[in-house]
A = this chain, B = another copy of it.
């Protein structure tokens, strides 16, 4: 249990204060925040709540969108927004700022990927200054066009490599990388760079590219195998359970958290 972190998207019906209180009452020592939930109470109040309840913040979701477009096609200055997010992460005491790098701009995949590398270069000094680690998270290839031109772990490692490991790491999220035939080798290659390990399962059939996820144990992902790879690569930090699932989101947070803890114990720990 001591490594379990509740990524608060899993208990989406809960406000931030409710999620913090829920974790504290259930013996969950870590929590991962989303910026929209933080904004509802303010950064300083969120930081105070975490401290008062004796929790630690595994990560803040999220910065990124460096290709200049959001998933619905609206323009965004991802670098400027991520500067703000780095500041928020520092104030929250979050160890990692998760980056969702952005989808394809102007139907140009090659240039979009370059924009991501350029943005990381630009943000590293601020990240080092604020003591926040940037977590490059490869997203599933089905999200390449809309959300993330960063699709595989070795691609993330190549972007991170020029910088100190404390400035830029990679986030291993099972949903996004479990299918990769090279995943064991790639996780081993990521030794020293792993900034987070996120677990969930994939629904079968997969009918929704974003919400087709489930609690660990309800799909084909071998969580213990992937956890052992991540640990063999030297990662001993928190393990976030992060589930995008409309049915789960519609249910009361306390029920969902109880099931999350049970699923973690049965299939991950």
Name A's B-contacting residues (CB within 8 A): 71, 103-104, 107, 109, 113, 140-142, 144-146, 151-152, 154-155, 178-182, 202, 204-207, 209, 219-220, 222
Contact (Cβ within 8 A) B141 A220:
no
Q: 5 pairs across A/B with beta carbons < 8 Å?
A: A103-B204, A141-B179, A145-B219, A146-B206, A206-B209
Contact (Cβ within 8 A) B180 A141:
yes
- Which residues from B are CB-within-8-Å of A206? 142, 145-146, 209
Least distance between A219 CB and chain B CB atoms (Å): 7
Q: Could you list 8 further interchain pairs (A-B, Cβ under 8 angstroms) beyond the known A140-B142, A141-B180, A145-B204?
A: A142-B142, A142-B206, A142-B209, A145-B179, A145-B206, A146-B204, A146-B206, A152-B180
Q: 8 shortest A-B CB distances, which residue pairs?
A: A144-B179, A142-B142, A141-B179, A155-B181, A145-B204, A107-B220, A104-B220, A141-B141
- Which residues from B are CB-within-8-Å of A207? 209
- Which residues from B are CB-within-8-Å of A155? 181
State the CA gap A145–B207 with chains docked (Å).
Answer: 12
Query: By CB atoms of chain B within 10 A, which of A151, A209, A222 has the most?
Result: A209
Complex: chain B residue closest to A207, CB-CB: B209
Least distance between A262 CB and chain B CB atoms (Å): 19
Complex: chain B residue closest to A106, CB-CB: B220
- Which residues from B are CB-within-8-Å of A107? 219-220, 222
- Which residues from B are CB-within-8-Å of A144? 179
State the CA gap A207–B146 with chains docked (Å).
Answer: 11
Contact (Cβ within 8 A) B202 A145:
yes
- Which residues from B are CB-within-8-Å of A209? 142, 206-207, 209
Complex: chain B residue closest to A209, CB-CB: B206
Evaluate whether A205 and B146 lie within 8 angstroms (CB atoms) in the complex, with A151-B179, A180-B151, A181-B155 already known. yes
